[in-house]
Structure 1
Amino acid sequence: MAEAHQAVVFAFNITDQGIQFEFDKDALHQVWRSGVRAYKKRYAGFKNRLRNGIYPAKPGSLLTTMLVMILATMFGNDLSLGYVKLLNPVVVKYLGVVPPHDTYVSCALIACGLWLSAILLYKQLIGCLLAYHGWMYEAHGRSISWRTKVWSVLVKLLVSCKRAGLYSFQGALPRLPVPNVDDTIRRYLVSMEPLLSDDQMAEMRQLADEFKSKGTAKKLQFYLRLKSWWAPNYVSDWWEEFVYLYSRDPIMVNSNYYGIDAIFVRPTRVQAARAANVSWSMLQYWRKLSREEVKPLSINDTVPLCSWQYERLFATTRIPGDERDRIMHLNDAKHIAVYHAGRYFKVYFYYAGRWLEPCELEQQFQSILNDKSAPSAGEADLAALTAGERRIWARARRDFFSRGANRTSLDAIERAAFVLALDEESADYDPEDDSQLDRFAKSLLHGNGCNRWFDKTFTLVVFANGRIGFNAEHSWADAPVLSQLWEETVITSDIVPGVGYNSDGHCKGSPKGTVPNPIRLQWDLSASCRDVISSQLRVATNLLNDVDLHLVVHTQFGKGAMKTCRMSPDAFVQLALQLAYFRDSGGQFCLTYEASMTRLFREGRTETVRSCTNQSCEFVRAMESGNASKAELIRLVRAAADKHQTMYRDAMTGKGVDRHLFTLYVVSKYCKIQSPFLEKALHCQWKLSTSQTPHGQTGKLDLRNSPDSISAGGGFGPVSEDGYGVSYIIAGEDTIFFHISSRVSCDLTNSRRFGDQICRALQDLKNLF
């Protein structure tokens, strides 16, 4: 067979003239290049680990320290305070070094010891500084404690994120502390006061007292503290495992989320060119991540955040299992998987020892768009397997994709850097027709149920008119990681006019060498396999048809006006959401989830801010009564905002409620202990689930010169059957985007109606000031 013949790199034949050797020089050359690249990556990894281990020192500083010590000794100045003489006999005896060289070796060893001790001392000091969070509770411009002043000076002197690598501070970050059980229970009970009746609160307090008095809390807390002593983070591994990987529900809509284009600008209408430039920018970002050239995010350019989640951004896939999924991550990949018109392709971005240029990627993508071949039987709906029930997908993967062409093609998708979907439909934003933006977002959240590979860390979606977005899997990391990628590769590089595109909309430049053709993936999907795909597609279709998604582009005012009210923009929006929900639900409050990050700690992910508080409810009731004076309303709204800010800081600094209760519950299951309090506390419905999309993380957005270059953020599906999912991004001084989702099947909710209530509540809040 021709394929088998081409696969032979080395062969020999025995003839009457002797042994004849045959070599495939091109194949051997590629093998050699692949090996060289692998060793280069290993060397780079070793160098980065060494640099991170000795940060902020450099390897050259060790040599300098040794030379100073040796030269000082040669000129009669013993900087070792006599330890060189004590060490000399040991060097002579065990290393066999003869005088006077023993003195030089002793100086070098002592210098090395001092150098390592200084590094360890520095890291310990940095760890102590980063473990202090009192600065977060002291408002700017007000009286600051002497402790925070001293801390601020030391941090500015010792901590510099500008020179650091991505993981330079990982070893110095503090561990997430386990809160006191009594404090957690007290905070939980206070958070439930505005939501439960007197009888229900009495019952909950009784369950909490029993949880503490019977010794259950003390026992579970002991095991949790034991875990916190050796695990990098006592929450994150269980959170990933039990919240995400053990879930058997479809991840489409229920778990995956989406991000959307910068809708006010359009760099090009050429689909292949936009796909090429964005893909190239993302791959270059991956290259910088691999080299650890991306600077760690920091607060106020001073306090570093954990960078652990970036590791699995590319070449990562969620693999289905019968009882539990797993995450497969590769350190390297040379291709991306491309979906178009029901067909899958393998496209190399690294070929013949070099990274391909955007114009060369555009050439490959355009050839896919020009290819009018029909998909094979079942291929067009194949991704529905990743959209439906996880157990069915796991069995199908084992039964139909474990060998042959199906195995090879599935590997090409799962081992790709990411998946690119070249859609046949267009998507856009029209300020005169907001339904277009709603359809844009729905296409990114779920598509048609079979044109996004939902298991991949992210699927980059490029529409026929050049608009873009992404769909992301949630288990491996949280949205801020994708937001930073989006900002780095799209907002600050792709949309700048005249940078990446010619006047005709195509990528700049010309091919520098041979460009490989896209490889069409082959499938042999049996009738039984196609039946499973069809059943999964029905599940996905029913799920996506039940999503009511609406986007609000609020341009009446934004961050600028909120700051003039002397309020945190996030607290401002959260109070508006409480007021809007109260009006929308006919005078009710609900348990509200707001995501907060815990990346001040090693391997930190998220914590919950319970935004519905006694103070926010008091303000909303007063606002709706119509009897309170403006001065009284302003007092109430400030009290509610201050409470919200305190809770947000508590969540960021490891004093939240929900992750502690969650881990106590996990320990109780391992110990086979039934806890009515934990069961009841953890099975309450979040009828209002909210999240703020971070903006301006990289510091590269120049909104003064390019005010339209703001991201529209992203969103997620509804968490509760009768509630709302609200994602918002305070994108500029005068713009806020709200992504509102709910269930079509629920008569109590309506995303457009709730969006109108949010806009009304925002205006009412602004009018107070």
Structure 2
Amino acid sequence: MAENFLKNEGWKLQGLAWLYWCFVDNYVTDFWEKFAYHYSRKGILINSSVAHLDIFEGVPANQAVRAAHIVLLETLSMLSVDRESLPPVAGGVISLSHLWKCYGTTRVPGEIIDHLEVYCGTTRHIIVYHRGCIYKLNVFDENGRMFGLEELTEIFSELLTRDESAGKVEGRIAALTTDSRNQWCLNRRRFFLENAINRASLAVIESAIFSLILDDAKYSSDPEALEIFLKNMLTGDGSNRWADKSLNYVISSNGRMKAEIIRCYASYQEQINDVDVACLVFRDFGKGFIKESRISPDAFVQMAIQLASFKDQGKFSLTYESTSARFYAKSRTETLRSVTKESCAFVKSMVSTESSNEERVKLLKEAAGVHVINSKECLTGSGVDRHLFVLHILSKMTGINSPLLNYYIAQPWELSTSQTPNMTRQINEDEHPNLSWFGAGFQAVCKTGYGISYRFAGNHSICMNIASYKSAENTDSHRLRQHLIQSMHEISAMFRI
């Protein structure tokens, strides 16, 4: 199939890709955003959203104070992006163009494809959701002065004491945004754009810097509550997230169109109930021990994931690891394929009773070495998946049939993984382990797979958040968590002998 591709349609599509490359800053990004994200007709929440958690032990603060801090810091961040005053990352060789889409950005639904409307730098308000009511909160006064921390705290304190609540239907208006994109497009036109008052309210919501939700629930850091917290951050309750907004912040109480609305709300509850999450804060060792073993920390975790997945599924699963490609203008990510001949050989040695410890260590280092090489290739623009994706899109746009690309695009990513970057360099997580961040979480990209987000909390812990679908007969997030714990212990034991 590959040889036929090179002889026939391959060179034609490559020529079209080269021609397109000549006229744009980045020949991948626009296609990737449009067809990997905006073209999807699935609802945004769960399918495209990423949930972020808090730190290990929350700093004592009431809800108003925490909300005020978030608004102040994020508004300052937006101004830095708008004024291009952010300090350069990695000596200025990392593209920060994506930051323009973090603030004041709304994904507007279309019948066929969505598009973004960006108000970064021009908008001066946020929206606040509390007990079913949506408030517009200006963060600048009439003279353009940004409100300070005390002023914002006073505003939130007053808002939290209001004896106001929306009706059952009105309080679930945001449920419309959880529907399929084409249905939400029709309802948006029907209930908002064709009504002058509702259209004005919609404009306020869509142009807001971000959305902030004041949640009445309380969340602790014990394992069971942490999973409830993660699931709530990922899904919402079906009515308290404006799904189109690029940022939805949720502040818990402890610092952490009638018939159509009811239909959307009820339908989304089924999706929420189908989400299976498991959280793991692995404290037995961290990045420090892994580096002492002379293994790349990311490669170590990826090999542990491969071993755990093999135990869980009884086979090797096509694995996607998101890696940065931001050395190039307007770039996003590249796919790092974790399953290699070397990783398979290592996993087989771990489940074999005939392999010696020396052989397993040797195979692990070989697999980790290949993983590091592949990671560097992705980082420097030598990955293959985004290029194949562009060729596939061009084949569909031009009507050039390609059996190879059709086969490539149809393969499901049964394991979707990502290492979450450090949240900030202002906190030393080894000196202050309780201020370590739990990380993020996202849903599996196929119904029979897993989504795994992980990060290294300093040198002391590894945080992993797993998500899957309860309706899938072959997956169980808590079962995979146990396999991961066992696999990391087994791999680490090889270096303790």
Find the partner of 2:264 among 533, 536, 555: 536
Structure 2 counterparts to residues 314-713 of structure 1, below 5 A: 314-330=103-119, 331-353=121-143, 354-376=145-167, 378-402=169-193, 403-430=195-222, 434-467=223-256, 529-585=257-313, 587-695=314-422, 698-713=424-439
Is this contact kept in 2: 1:555–1:734, CA < 8 A? yes
What CA distance in whole angstroms lies between the structure 1 residues aligned with 2:270 and 2:228? 17
Question: Whose radius of gyration is greater, 1 or 2?
Answer: 1
What CA distance in whole angstroms lies between the structure 1 residues aligned with 2:168 and 2:414? 42
**Cα drift, residue 279 of structure 1:** 1.2
Gaps of 5+ in 1: 1-206, 468-528
**Cα drift, residue 343 of structure 1:** 0.7
The secondary structure found in structure 1 opposite 2:434 is: coil
**Cα drift, residue 267 of structure 1:** 3.4
Residue 165 of structure 2 aligns with an amino acid whose one-letter code is A
What CA distance in whole angstroms lies between the structure 1 residues aligned with 2:419 and 2:224? 23
Residue 209 of structure 1 aligns with an amino acid whose one-letter code is E
Find the partner of 1:239 among 21, 26, 32: 32
Q: Does 1:741 align with 2:470?
A: no
Per-residue deviation, residues 191-216 of structure 1 (Å, max 9, x unmatched): xxxxxxxxxxxxxxxx11111122x0
Counterpart residue number, 2:443: 717
Residue 247 of structure 1 aligns with an amino acid whose one-letter code is S
Q: Which consecutive aligned stretches of 4+ in structure 1 deviate over 3 angstroms post-superposition? A: none
Counterpart residue number, 2:56: 263
Counterpart residue number, 1:218: 11
**Cα drift, residue 762 of structure 1:** 0.7
Q: How many residues align?
A: 492
Gaps of 5+ in 2: none
The secondary structure found in structure 2 opposite 1:355 is: coil
Residue 760 of structure 1 aligns with an amino acid whose one-letter code is Q
Residue 338 of structure 1 aligns with an amino acid whose one-letter code is V
The secondary structure found in structure 2 opposite 1:347 is: strand
Per-residue deviation, residues 122-169 of structure 1 (Å, max 9, x unmatched): xxxxxxxxxxxxxxxxxxxxxxxxxxxxxxxxxxxxxxxxxxxxxxxx
What CA distance in whole angstroms lies between the structure 2 residues aligned with 1:375 and 1:702? 43
Residue 2 of structure 2 aligns with an amino acid whose one-letter code is A
What CA distance in whole angstroms lies between the structure 1 residues aligned with 2:323 and 2:128? 34
Find the partner of 2:453 among 722, 727, 731: 727
**Cα drift, residue 376 of structure 1:** 4.2
Per-residue deviation, residues 334-390 of structure 1 (Å, max 9, x unmatched): 111000101110111101321111121122222221122231462211111111111
Structure 2 counterparts to residues 46-195 of structure 1, below 5 A: none
What CA distance in whole angstroms lies between the structure 2 residues aligned with 1:544 and 1:704? 36
Find the partner of 1:274 among 61, 66, 84: 66
Q: Does 1:208 align with 2:2?
A: yes
Residue 354 of structure 2 aligns with an amino acid whose one-letter code is N
Per-residue deviation, residues 416-438 of structure 1 (Å, max 9, x unmatched): 111110011111212xxx11100
Q: Which has the higher contact order (CA 8 A, sep 6+)?
A: 2
What CA distance in whole angstroms lies between the structure 1 residues aligned with 2:438 and 2:242? 23
What CA distance in whole angstroms lies between the structure 1 residues aligned with 2:310 and 2:68? 46
What CA distance in whole angstroms lies between the structure 2 residues aligned with 1:412 and 1:324? 23
What CA distance in whole angstroms lies between the structure 1 residues aligned with 2:349 and 2:152? 59
Is this contact kept in 1: 2:290–2:300, CA < 8 A? yes
**TM-score, with structure 1 as normaliser:** 0.63
Residue 325 of structure 1 aligns with an amino acid whose one-letter code is D
Is this contact kept in 2: 1:263–1:428, CA < 8 A? no
**Cα drift, residue 407 of structure 1:** 1.2
**Cα drift, residue 704 of structure 1:** 4.5
The secondary structure found in structure 1 opposite 2:85 is: coil
Identity of aligned residues (%): 37
Q: Does 1:757 align with 2:477?
A: no
RMSD: 1.3
Counterpart residue number, 1:297: 89
Is this contact kept in 1: 2:276–2:467, CA < 8 A? yes
**Cα drift, residue 748 of structure 1:** 1.2
Per-residue deviation, residues 458-510 of structure 1 (Å, max 9, x unmatched): 1110001111xxxxxxxxxxxxxxxxxxxxxxxxxxxxxxxxxxxxxxxxxxx
Is this contact kept in 1: 2:429–2:457, CA < 8 A? no
**TM-score, with structure 2 as normaliser:** 0.97
What CA distance in whole angstroms lies between the structure 1 residues aligned with 2:249 and 2:39? 26
**Cα drift, residue 410 of structure 1:** 1.2
What CA distance in whole angstroms lies between the structure 1 residues aligned with 2:442 and 2:289? 27
